[in-house]
A = this chain, B = another copy of it.
Amino acid sequence: MSQKVVTFGEVMMRLSTPAFARFTQSTSFNITYAGAEANVAVSVANFGIPSAHVTRFPDNDLGAAATQALRKYGVDTSFILYGDERMGVYFLENGSIHRASRIIYDRFDSAFAHIQKGSINWDEILKDAAWFHYTGITPAISQGAADVCLEGLQAARKRGVKISGDINYRRNLWQYGKSAKDIMPALIELTDVMIAGITDMENCMGISGNSFEEACRQTMKQYPAVKKIATTERDSVSSSHNRISAVLFDGKKILQSKSYDLTHIVDRVGSGDAFMAGLVYGMLSKKDDQQSLEFATAACAWKHTVEGDVNLASAAEIENLVKGENVGKLLR
């Protein structure tokens, strides 16, 4: 049975200062490519599951480099569109101790933002897919992106492809004249598995529960397609030291994951996407939600140990972390 995972969303050039340098002191940037949805495609590919990412790049060497960055990991890039506008960029300064990490986005008017309704042949792309993943960032970028995302969800639904959505409310986006509450409900109606915290649910659907569980119950009542809602819980002791765990509401009860103590963080960006990828992998290959949740949380934790947005772990490495094996060892 096919397990192909299809993801859709913008991929940006990530320019990060080396080590812990501030923007104002660095003389170089490290270049990687990253996007919330593409991060999931790469991570599941690293877990051994075929994946394809759909996006739109500028038709220049930066778009070519971004394509290569995904293809390197085995993500199918044959459905990517190329056009005239610019590459979205984000600048990252990694913090240390009590100095916060900082991101400066420069993503407006990107090639992706100019994607047009009807430009993607979703039926072709999804024909052998098992899972479709989107995030709340995509419909926040432009009307075109929101339209194409909805087309993707509808095509997936029609074909019985499972749909996950990381409802990730970003106040700084949503600048094209629509609000999250205008757009997100139609997408959530088609979503099976959702990543959302209380504030995401409030901002996207106007749901205001007193607790995560209550908000989940209300969401599922209003959006009966939604079967699972998960979220990570982060305790930021400092930029160098976080604790991470996760919960999943399965419609009936809250499942709670183990907690991980991340004492020497290399790079936390993309760890939410690593969680999502872990959840997709778990739901495609594990026998119950608790196992999926543990795998996803371990994947999230593991991501903090490598530079870049994407999780470079194999499934075996995550399994070992779940079991507490090889932790801190020197493997020869």
Residues on A close to B: CB < 8 A?
A: 15, 18-31, 60-62, 64-65, 68-69, 71-74, 86-87, 89, 91, 93, 95-106, 108-109, 170, 172, 236-242, 260, 262-266, 268-269, 301-302, 304-308, 312-313, 317, 321, 326-332
A266–B96 touching, CB < 8 Å: yes
| Cα–Cα distance between A293 and B306 once the two chains are bound (Å) | 37
Residues of B within 8 A of A302 (CB): 98-99
Distance to closest chain B CB from A172 (angstroms): 7
Residues of B within 8 A of A98 (CB): 260, 301-302, 305, 321, 327-328
| Cα–Cα distance between A301 and B95 once the two chains are bound (Å) | 14
Distance to closest chain B CB from A16 (angstroms): 10
B307–A21 touching, CB < 8 Å: yes
Closest to A26 in B: B31
- Interface core residue of A19, A26, A73, A332 (most chain B CB under 10 Å): A332
Q: Provided the pairs A307-B19, A330-B268 are in contact, do residues A102 and B61 lie with their beta carbons within 8 angstroms?
A: yes
| Cα–Cα distance between A31 and B22 once the two chains are bound (Å) | 13
Residues of B within 8 A of A265 (CB): 97
Q: Provided the pairs A61-B102, A104-B62, A237-B328 are in contact, do residues A25 and B307 lie with their beta carbons within 8 angstroms?
A: yes
| Cα–Cα distance between A306 and B93 once the two chains are bound (Å) | 11
Distance to closest chain B CB from A164 (angstroms): 22
Closest to A16 in B: B28
| Cα–Cα distance between A23 and B60 once the two chains are bound (Å) | 10
- Interface core residue of A24, A74, A96, A100 (most chain B CB under 10 Å): A24
Task: List the 6 closest A-B pairs by CB distance, nearest first.
Answer: A236-B328, A23-B61, A99-B305, A72-B72, A240-B264, A238-B328
Distance to closest chain B CB from A78 (angstroms): 9
B29–A95 touching, CB < 8 Å: no
- Interface core residue of A65, A97, A331 (most chain B CB under 10 Å): A97
Q: Provided the pairs A98-B260, A317-B99 are in contact, do residues A24 and B330 lie with their beta carbons within 8 angstroms?
A: no
A242–B96 touching, CB < 8 Å: no
B329–A101 touching, CB < 8 Å: yes
A99–B241 touching, CB < 8 Å: no
Residues of B within 8 A of A312 (CB): 22, 24-25
Distance to closest chain B CB from A99 (angstroms): 4
Q: Provided the pairs A96-B305, A239-B328, A328-B239 are in contact, do residues A29 and B26 lie with their beta carbons within 8 angstroms?
A: no
Residues of B within 8 A of A108 (CB): 86, 109
Contact of A89 among B89, B101, B268, B308 (CB under 8 A): B89
Contact of A20 among B106, B109, B262, B307 (CB under 8 A): B307
A27–B22 touching, CB < 8 Å: no
B103–A331 touching, CB < 8 Å: yes
Residues of B within 8 A of A106 (CB): 86-87, 89
A96–B264 touching, CB < 8 Å: yes
Residues of B within 8 A of A330 (CB): 95, 100-103, 268-269
Distance to closest chain B CB from A93 (angstroms): 7
Distance to closest chain B CB from A88 (angstroms): 10
